[in-house]
Structures are given as structure tokens and as C-alpha cells.
Amino acid sequence: MGNVLRLLAAGAGAGVLVAAIALPAMGGAGVTAKSAIEGLHLQPEELNEPPLPERTVLLDANGKQFAQFYYENRESVKLDQIADVMKTAIVAIEDNRFYEHGAIDIEGTARAAMRNFSGGGVVQGGSSITQQYVKLVLVNSAETKEEQEAAVAPTLERKLKELRYALAIEEKYTKSEILERYLNISYFGAGAYGIQAAAKRFFGKPASELTLWEAATLAGAVQNPSVTDPNTGKAARQRLLERRNVVLNRMYKLGKITKEEAEEAKAKKLGYKDVPVPGGCDQSDYPYFCLYVQHEILNNEDFGKTAEAREKFLQRGGLTIKTTLDPQAQKASEKAIRKYVRTSDKPVAAQAMVVPGTGAIKAMAASRTFGRNKKKNEISYNLVSDVAHGGGTGFQAGSTFKPFTLLTALEQGMKLNDGFSTGSGYAAPSNASFRDCKGNKVGEPGHTVHNSSESGGGFKTLTTGTLGSVNTFFMKLEEVVGLCDTVKTAQKLGIKRADGQPLKEFETFTLGINEMDPVTVAAAYATIGARGAYCKPMAITEIRDRNNKATSYKPKCKQVLDEEVADAASHIMSGVFTKGTMSGVGGIGRPAAGKTGTTDAYTAAWFAGYTPDLASAVSIGDPRGAFKHDLIGVTIGGRYYSYVYGASISGPIWKESMIGALKGVEATPFTPVNMERFGGCSAGRCAPPPKKKPVEDRGGDGDRGGDGGFDGDDGGFDVTEPPDGWGEGNGGAPIVP
């Protein structure tokens, strides 16, 4: 008897358990599960059944699916959604007395044990479907390798524990409920978990439509899916075919099908269709938005208090996530980008659209195809967002940062026509002229910042300095209002570096030396469009769990600017389309405001702008390294550019995409500026009276005004490629109008 016990204990399943239960009762008739269990004094033990990992589906704002991802490809279904022939096949091959016995089939287990003994090894298993379900739950619940190994360990202790759980399961559920759970948890191979995913993966149909030979195939796959996985090659497919026929023979022997039905089914080919199962953002129609949603769940405490909890929340899946994605805006963005930048271009354009007053992200698009094939010029991170949302380190924002200095000046009481004279170059009077928010002196008297043209000096106001994007004016303005105050204004509008590092608080902060991402910049500009209400960018509006319980997510907004300050900034920045650096491109046929941004040495180019209804930011730069691969002498979208400005590519993309995104949306006007508060100029900051000039002198208010700008006395630029940000810190170059 000792030899028998040792042999049986060496195998998993029937052998180990029967050594403890069946053998003590052998030698006498009337072996029953009840008597064997009572002899071991086993009591039911509650089994923890965590939710099964299932697919998570992403829906756009209209409720249409655009992505799905999963830890395990599973779609749980009710038993009545599974073909009867499938239920019959799985019971026939795995546990034909399933409806007759309790937690353990003593008769079947003893029979299997004796066959194993007589065969000199493990020949036949004896675990009931209930026991198998318990084991699969334990494996599924395991979070470490050790726990996984323990869940399948061929030990008496494990089998007895499994039996205690099985006793509880038999008390808790009906046989039909146990079968349903078993079919939903089982792995069938080819990455398919659960009968519904398997039916779709193997045969391209739901489990409710499975035929006899298809059901037999899937029933056969359960025993050892790694050996019969059809994706691993011809040998595995042949083994699966043979296993299918074993199931059909078993069904015939048990009287579940006729001999003719069995033979007809066995004559069928395997019929594996290898139906692709899109999973992951790389297979989504909108991969950048999908990535943003994934990382938002992993990083946002709304979806779990700890990183581990959020990861489990996402992995377990079974979620239906409704997002803010607007198909109209998304398509408009993609169309505009394709017009100006090709997928094969090394420089990449990226755009985000955000709704003022809610922070809802309506679109995220980029010129590169998302993927990992470098030969196809694909890119494997989120070009539109920051590192926290699966993005890269971004590009320097250039002159799109100047409005933060403008807003600071307006908040401090400056008026539209307040200004001062500046030269073509600016150098800090001393290192104490600029202090960061820690009080450190960061002025650089030895560094000279230059204008976009050598003749760009003269008296500039908040209005003309902004429209002309005059570097020296903004350096002087930042000196006057304070570097730290400017930084704090930017931060109130949600500005943070794309790489997650602290903002660089240097004297050239206003010139956009920090690397940014389009989502962050668009949200900052949306704040101005919402009259000073900053709303955290949001991509998720509702999550419905596997039990159809819905949780809604509302905008997170905060008033960070005086409404009238935002109105005044919009008043000034709306002139960018008519008298400023976008005058060569033009507006969008409705009230809008914005700012171009060309960086020092042409490493990147931006345009950010907004209406009261929608804000957007477009960047272009080379992800191989903006300083090593600048935008000088480049061909983009089939067109050669000597220099790429903010209004060269980013501006036109912004214009055309915004027109498309807002089609059918009634235009909302800006709130008029409070001229009593911001009109005119303050004492000591008004423009000096014009000097009397000889009649023959055409300067001052002609083609090249005394203020160094084009288009006369407003200091604006009426050129197709405006010199915004030209030569910041590098001496600049003359412009040919």
C-alpha cells in the first residue's frame, strides 16, 4: 500500500487526492464522496474569487468604440449565450458525471487513480469541473510566481485545500453557474481566455453560434492549451485536430451524438481562422488619445489611491470608458496635419484641442504613425502629451510663453498702451534684475537677447510688443513685472515641463526655453479663452464597470485669473491674425486669439490659439533632437523651408483644423475689454511724442516704422513667414519683407 501511495502522490490531480480519500475506502463497496470526506473531517472553505481580467473598451464622445486593450483577452458571457453543444462537449470530455456528483467525483477519481497506478504514471486526470474551476481561480488570483507555483503544486496539502474550496463552491452555486464560470475562466490557447473570446478568435463567431465540430475543438483545447495552441505551428494544429476527434468519440460513446454526426464532424478540417483581436493602443484608430487614457488611469488618484490599485483596476478591465474624443475635431486635426507634414518626414507635427471651461480634450493627433517599425518612420510614444501620459520630453515652446508675461503685466495694472523703449538687443542691467522663485539672482548681464531684425528697436506697448512678438520688449517687460511672478502666472495656467522636471526659471523664461507638450499648452491658452478659469485636461467622462455600474467624472476647474485681465489679453492677442505674426495666414472667420512661437535657432515652431469654444496648440520639431536637427533648410510635406517659423506650418495647421473642428458650432464672441480699466496708458509709460521730421522723411509710420515693425505704427508684421522669435540670443538676421 505504501508503494501505491508514493506512486499516486507523485502525480498531480487524481492520484494525490485519491491517496487520501479513495484508497482508505477501497476494499469495500459503497464508496461515497460523503463518507470519504467525512473520514477526513473536511469542511467547506470560502474561496476568494476576484473579478476576471477582461477587455477594456474606449468610446468616443458619440459612444463609438475606437480602442480596446486587455491584460487577458476575455469577454465573459452568460450560460444562455453559449451554444448547448459547447456545454455538452466540455462536460463530456472533462467531467461527464458533472451533474451527478458533488465537489468530487470519487468514482471517476478512483478509476483515474487505478489507471495511473497500472500504467506506471499519470495516465488520466480525475479532477471535477468544480475542482478545475477552483484551481483556475487560484492561478488567476496569484500575484507572484511563488503563488502561481503553489496553486498547481502536486501536493496532498494543495489538493485537500482545493477540495475544501470546491465544497464551498458547490454549496454557493448551482451546477449551471459553476459551468458558466468555468467556461469563462478557462484558457483555450491563441491568447483567448473564456469561451466567447475563444469562439471569436478560432472561428470568427460568438459562442452562441458554435457548431458541433467547433465546440469539440474548443473542448479539446482546454486540457493542455500550450500544446495545442494553433498559433505555434502545424504540429500543434495537428495535435488539436486529434484532440478534437477524441472529444467527438467521447461524445458518441456517451450517447450525446450519433455515429454519423461524429464521423461527419471528424471529416471537417480544423478550420482555425486566426481572427485578429485588436488590443493595445497601437491598433487603435486614435493611438495617441488611447495612450493618454491609459496613462491617465495609471496616474490619477480618481481611479485608485495607490499606483498598485490603479494598475489592477486597468488590468482587471471589463471597463467601458467614455471619453471626450470628438471625431469631427480629431478628423479635422488629422486632415490638416497630413496636408502640411508627411508621415515620412523626420520633423513631426503634433496637435491637441481642448475645450475652454471644461478642459475636455477633443483631439490628439500627430504626423507620425504610432508603432515600433523604425523603417516605416513610426514612433512608439505619445507625441502630443507629456511623459506622465506616455509622451516624450516635448519641444521648447518659444514665444508662446510671452502671453504669460503679458498676463502678469495686466494683472499688475498695466494698460494696453503702456510701454517703453527698447533697442534691437537687450542685456540685463545686473544679475539682480531677475530673481527666480527661490530668490536666486539669475540675470545675465553678459548675455544679449536680440530682436527678430536688427532694426527692431523703438517704443513698444503691451499691444504692439505682443503683435510683433518683440523679444527685447518682453525681456524688459519680464524685468519690470518680475520673473517669479511670470513663472507663477504660467503655473496657474497649468504650465509644467513635458519631462516632469521643475520649470527652468532663467531670465529668458518669457522666450519659451522650457520644453512643452501640446496638451499642456492648449489647456493654458484655453484658460484665457475661459476668462481665466483653468480646467485640468480631461479625457474620461464616464467609466462603466463589468456590472454596468457607471461612475461619472466632472471637470476640475479653478478661477486663476481676473476675468477682465483675460479679456484684455484676448483683445490684444486677437490682433495677431490681422496685424501680427499670423497676418499672412489670417484668421478662422470667427473671434479668435493666439500666439506664434519660434524658438531660438529654429529648433521648434508652434502656434497656440483659442476661441471661447475651443483652444488648440500645434508644435513641430525633430524628435531625434531639436538642437542637433533644427528647422533650417528642411523639406517638410514636400516643400522646402529656409527657416520654419510659427506661422509657416503650425499656424496653417491650426487654422484649417480649427475651422473643421468648429464647423456647425455657433461662434461665441470674446467679452469686450474694459477700456475704463485697461484703455490708454499710465503716467510715465506712454509713448513719447513723435519727433518732427522733414517732409521728405518717410520713416516712422511708413513701411518700416520707427518702432522697428512692419505695417506702420502698430508694429505688426504683414509677411507670410513672420520673424517671430528670430535669432533669440544669436544675433538675429535681417528680414526681407
pLDDT tens sequence across 532-553 = 999 999 999 999 998 899 999 9
Instruction: Please determine, for residue 477, whether its predicted confidence score (pLDDT) is greater than 90.
Output: yes
Comparing CA positions, the residue from 371, 394, 358 lying closest to residue 555 is 358
Q: SS3 for 184?
A: helix
- Which three three-digit cell numbers place residue 111? 478509476
Of residues 654 and 371, the one with the higher pLDDT is: 654
**Span 13-22, mean pLDDT?**
46
Asked whether the beta carbons of 721 and 651 are under 8 A apart, the reply is no
pLDDT recorded at residue 641: 96
Comparing CA positions, the residue from 147, 234, 131 lying closest to residue 182 is 131
37-46, 271-280, 527-536, 558-567: which range is least confident on average? 37-46
Comparing CA positions, the residue from 173, 92, 193 lying closest to residue 130 is 173
pLDDT recorded at residue 126: 55
Q: How far apart (Å, rounded) are the C-alpha atoms in residues 22 and 635?
A: 80
29-38, 312-321, 667-676: which range is least confident on average? 29-38
Q: SS3 for 604?
A: strand
pLDDT recorded at residue 563: 98
75-94 residue pLDDT tens: 999 999 999 999 999 999 99
Which helix (H) or strand (E) element contains residue 598? strand 593-598
In the chain the domains, ranked by start, together with CATH numbers, are: 2-266 (1.10.3810.10), 395-529+561-691 (3.40.710.10)
pLDDT recorded at residue 38: 53
The residue type at 176: S
Q: SS3 for 303?
A: helix
Q: SS3 for 297?
A: helix
- The mean predicted confidence, pLDDT, of the chain is 86
- The DSSP secondary structure of 467-511, one letter per residue, reads HTT-HHHHHHHHHHH-HHHHHHHHHHTT---TTSSPP---GGGGG
Q: How far apart (Å, rounded) are the C-alpha atoms in residues 298 and 311?
A: 6
Asked whether the beta carbons of 348 and 369 are under 8 A apart, the reply is no
Q: SS3 for 582?
A: coil
Question: What percent of the chain shows pLDDT beyond 70?
Answer: 85
- Which three three-digit cell numbers place residue 396? 521648447
pLDDT recorded at residue 279: 78
**Span 18-32, mean pLDDT?**
43
pLDDT recorded at residue 606: 97
pLDDT band at 282 (very low <50, low <70, confident <90, very high): confident
Of residues 405 and 280, the one with the higher pLDDT is: 405
683-734 residue pLDDT tens: 999 998 877 665 543 333 333 333 333 333 333 333 333 333 333 333 333 3
Asked whether the beta carbons of 238 and 246 are under 8 A apart, the reply is no
40-71 residue pLDDT tens: 557 889 999 988 888 899 999 999 999 998 88
Instruction: Please determine, for residue 240, whether its predicted confidence score (pLDDT) is greater than 70.
Output: yes
Left (φ > 0), alpha (ψ -120 to 50) or beta: where does 729 sit? Answer: left
Please name the residue that has the C-alpha cell 486587455.
Answer: 70
pLDDT recorded at residue 490: 98
212-216, 377-381, 415-419: which range is least confident on average? 377-381
**Span 276-301, mean pLDDT?**
89
Q: How far apart (Å, rounded) are the C-alpha atoms in residues 259 and 248?
A: 9
Instruction: Please determine, for residue 109, whether its predicted confidence score (pLDDT) is greater than 80.
Output: no
pLDDT band at 107 (very low <50, low <70, confident <90, very high): low
Instruction: Please determine, for residue 420, whether its predicted confidence score (pLDDT) is greater than 50.
Output: yes
